[in-house]
A = this chain, B = another copy of it.
Amino acid sequence: MLRKVDKHSGVPAYLQIVNMIKSEILLGNLQKGSQLSSIRELQQIFDVNINTVLKALEKLKSEGYIEAEQGVGYFVKKDFDVDKKIIEIIKTCVAKLKDNSIDYYTAILIFEEVWKNE
């Protein structure tokens, strides 16, 4: 789901955009060959300057995820599919956490710490 960038998160906007688009590809919402929205549409969706969108697309291009066609648009180039099982594991975990009224920030903090400790 592409959505407004969080300008107070501390994470640079262009990286948030990179991550959101990667997630779309990861989850299969954007498949190989799909055309992205135009730069100027993305600019509105993310609510940032056109140069910020460009920087994000440039990074995705350099990593091989998308490619550009002059005058036409950007297209998904690489299709990495994550095992459905992985998504299920995470969905189950997220559901449990939400059941316990944990907020996203706390969850991520613990997730990161647990990941890097064990």
Contact = CB atoms under 8 A, between A and B. Distances in A.
A25 to B, nearest CB: 10
Contacts of A90: 93, 97, 107, 110-111, 114
A107 B96 CA distance: 17
B112 A111 contact: no
Interface of A: 1, 3, 10-12, 15, 19-20, 22-23, 26-27, 82-83, 85-87, 89-97, 100, 102, 104, 106-118
Nearest to A113: B23
A22 B106 CA distance: 9
A1 to B, nearest CB: 6
Nearest to A89: B96
A86 B111 contact: no
Given A26-B113, A108-B112, 8 more contacts: A1-B113, A19-B112, A23-B109, A86-B100, A91-B118, A93-B93, A93-B111, A108-B111
